Structure 1
């Protein structure tokens, strides 16, 4: 579409657009001398400048035009020079922004040919990167008339100019106009009234209803309670919940409390009326539901929103996946008429997204088609799969928001939304993308949120996007690591870490599989390279590796081709490798939540595991929180860790009581000019404690 067409609608009415051009500044053109200046031209004054008698300046407009546009127009310019010499005048120059040349003077506005026919002038346009030059040739009267017309066009007052009507009586020109009557009528229309944002906010619910009024009906309650489940008494249910990791259920609806469904003890009690689900469960070979599944399934099947808080490796994925299959299958709108996916699962990392996709394919139900959409993958292939028609989309927020903003995916058809590992998505800064995505999903959807922790950010997200949810959490809302993992803490110097890793690997048993966590991507490559040079099969996993390399590394680790994986915290969430026997924390994580998630990579699905954590002096600020985690999991707390926490707390109190003086001045620098400065430096140092390598004592 041309610029001219963009300025008017299909009826020919002008589309009002704000002008981004400043007031043009005109500059007079100085005619250079031609040889001897031309007969009879010396001393003649044109536009206030005497022509002839002097050699033209190097920065004259003619020389600039030739430099900017090359030699191809030299012949044409020479003809204009000859013509101008005969007329006795030169062109008038106007400086105009390049963007306005096309919109107003060129194809998008009054065409050059029409301006030339109207005024009798010859117009030449030289375009630059940011500013162009309009040259007007002709007599003085013609130049002035053309210049006035162009200035009026650019300044936005074109419709008020009489020349645009081409009245033959007033202008003496032929009765032709480049503006239609509808254009002039539209330009005279009054401006629209300002938007009343207060009224919009007050009527938000009304406008939201209008937005979603054409949506088809939605079904959410598919739970048929088994008789054995209904007969269970409140005391029996209380005892069972306490024996199964202290399950706690709460109703977050404010107006009235609803009856909390009793838990199911077997798969048959939950899915006896859905043989397709039971067939998948028997094929996989599960014995009984996990605690989070036993309590979550009745709630989700009843169509209620759910917040599931449980430790890593407790089966949260199946707690929302199997009810989601039933939800999509039982909707009144056929799958081929929905126009988009029915289930959307948002996850924080690519690895977790691919893992959930594998679970969907493992528990295939009624031929539902699922795809995985994530950043770093083949965008063209993902777009092709999305537009070809899918039922389940598992995605990371960044890539899904990209597809949504480009209108490549329709989210209005989503009726079942899952926010998996919501705490991690908030830590990674995905909240703006999540907000944009959810705003395009129908408000009467069913939403399930899972998380391993319950920080303030997750609570705020739940209040914003869940409607009267029930909460199920296993164990406690306080941060705690799984109790099936033996946690060991070692105190070392920073330069001794690699030797500890080498010693540990040399003592590994043939059936052992270890996941080594480091704090930086470059360290993951460095450590894995050192192990390779020692002849040890190892893989590395971090965010700077290509997606194909990351998938290959993870698959090699899962299949047992390598028994050692060096990874950043990228692998601390959702990585489901059942036979990991050891987690080795080469670097202590940046917060205690990541420590819990790292430890949770082992001891999964009822197995036992072991974690080894190297602690240095730089990790002293995390000592108190680590003690709390160890105590809650029933682990032995090293005495050195208690001393480290006490010293750090004492040091913090002293800093508050005696704040450090600003640097600079006498005795205040790093080298210290006086006794006070040297005493402060000595008093603020660490010294090694006798008999314990790596632990430091704060000396006052």
Structure 2
């Protein structure tokens, strides 16, 4: 039964790709296309524009690289300039796509270039002047080069926007549109996003795609089936630190990612964790690019087993073996939560995510659950059980009712009567007996 089901699964050779690419795919050990590759590649090979939603780790990089490379190989161009441009939100993701592209072009003569901020500007200018066919880049640096009139996108054949939702979140919308508008209008455009429900993704698709096909493998609310999601309640940040240390010392994992909402918090956690003999590194946007590259390499090689990171690493950090993600700080919204936990549970691997939640973060975490239409598993660590058990339910009786009783309308009425008796001496004595009993009733 099992072998028959495997036999029915299409192979890469069934996708009609160039033989040089198939040789590279075979060398990389890829046996069967993933769902996103199986659905996207045939459409892309027909030179159609695509809007694709697929989570990180689903094989989407090869899903856009393979058809783009096939096009460049089978339809040689005598024109100058960049033939394929891949825009991505972060330097780290650009570097990983560049590496993957080099692997897939190993048996070809195609030249690939990398353009990101933090690297030598003149070297990038020279690389573009040599008519590099494939360029992987971040939008900011491309715009800087465009101001020098260096990149020539007039003959561009394929434009790929990877992690478009993240580029929008990072404020690159206008930059991306400016670059897209400078490209050959007859190009093919492939837009990849983790979700199709992001408010700006559809709007961008309408601006840059022509008569496009949609490949929707997931939506924003899809659960991560390979990931167990847990919540551990904490009293305060000191309690969180104790919980974090316990988890890192007692959970089983190859690599762990610990997310904070600020670089200050990430830096602050490094000392205490290293004091527990844990192999810890830090990754955030304030670091020099060379230091970031070095830290990622140490993490990839396993020299660093635990990475403290801000949301910079939530996207574009494609490293195998991350099977534990801990949110020391609850992320600010559901989209960031998805991107963080997406670092684990890749393809067929299992992952565990744990959010440490204190009382000021309860509403934020509950909002994320509602946003994702999921309920996370609550976990109690007996060795470090805290006092905070979640918000108390409001009671319909008790203090609320007692509060109403404290307002004594009778007393107020009595005071009014007293004032009348003092101020209006002509009031008949017949009213006095009526007032006195009332006063006596309210006296202790």
**Under TM normalisation by the shorter chain, which class is it?**
0.7 to 0.9
SS of the residue 1:696 aligns to:
coil
Shift of 1:517: 0.7
Alignment RMSD (CA, Å): 2.4
Matched, 1:562 2:301: no
Matched, 1:347 2:92: no
The verdict on how the C-alpha distance between 1:528 and 1:639 changes in structure 2, with shifts beyond 3 A counting, is closer
Aligned residues: 383
- Kept in 2: contact 1:480–1:629 (CA 8 A): no
- Bigger share in helix: 2
Shift of 1:386: 2.1
Q: Which runs of 5+ in 2 are unaligned?
A: 381-385, 395-399, 401-444
Deviations 1:547-570 (A, max 9, x none): 000001011001111111111111
How far apart in 2 are the matches of 1:332 and 1:290? 28
Matched, 1:426 2:121: no
How far apart in 2 are the matches of 1:638 and 1:480? 20
The verdict on how the C-alpha distance between 1:533 and 1:378 changes in structure 2, with shifts beyond 3 A counting, is farther
Q: Which runs of 5+ in 1 are unaligned?
A: 1-242, 244-262, 641-690
Shift of 1:382: 2.0
- Kept in 2: contact 1:264–1:270 (CA 8 A): no
How far apart in 1 are the matches of 2:222 and 2:75? 39
Match among 250, 256, 265 for residue 507 of structure 1? 250
The alignment's TM-score, normalised by the length of structure 2, stands at: 0.81
How far apart in 2 are the matches of 1:377 and 1:494? 41
Matched, 1:275 2:19: yes
* Runs of at least 4 residues off by over 6 Å: none
Shift of 1:388: 2.6
Matched, 1:521 2:266: no
SS of the residue 1:479 aligns to:
coil
How far apart in 1 are the matches of 2:271 and 2:212? 49
Structure possessing the higher radius of gyration over alpha carbons: 1
The verdict on how the C-alpha distance between 1:367 and 1:588 changes in structure 2, with shifts beyond 3 A counting, is same
How far apart in 1 are the matches of 2:223 and 2:282? 25
Deviations 1:240-298 (A, max 9, x none): xxx9xxxxxxxxxxxxxxxxxxx982211103x62111111111111211111111111
Partner of 1:576: 318
For 1:248-647, list aligned pairs within 5 A.
Answer: 265-271=10-16, 274-334=18-78, 338-364=79-105, 365-454=107-196, 455-475=198-218, 477-495=219-237, 496-509=239-252, 512-628=254-370, 637-638=377-378
Deviations 1:415-447 (A, max 9, x none): 100000000000000112112111110111100
SS of the residue 1:288 aligns to:
coil
SS of the residue 2:149 aligns to:
coil
Shift of 1:384: 2.4
Shift of 1:333: 2.3
The verdict on how the C-alpha distance between 1:531 and 1:424 changes in structure 2, with shifts beyond 3 A counting, is same
Partner of 1:30: none
Deviations 1:289-332 (A, max 9, x none): 11111111110001100011012211111111000001112335
How far apart in 2 are the matches of 1:580 and 1:423? 23
Partner of 2:391: 696
Partner of 2:409: none
Shift of 1:531: 2.0
Shift of 1:630: 6.8
Moved more, 389-398 or 494-503: 494-503
Of structures 1 and 2, the one with the larger relative CO (CA 8 A, separation 6+) is 2
How far apart in 2 are the matches of 1:408 and 1:264? 45
How far apart in 1 are the matches of 2:271 and 2:159? 42
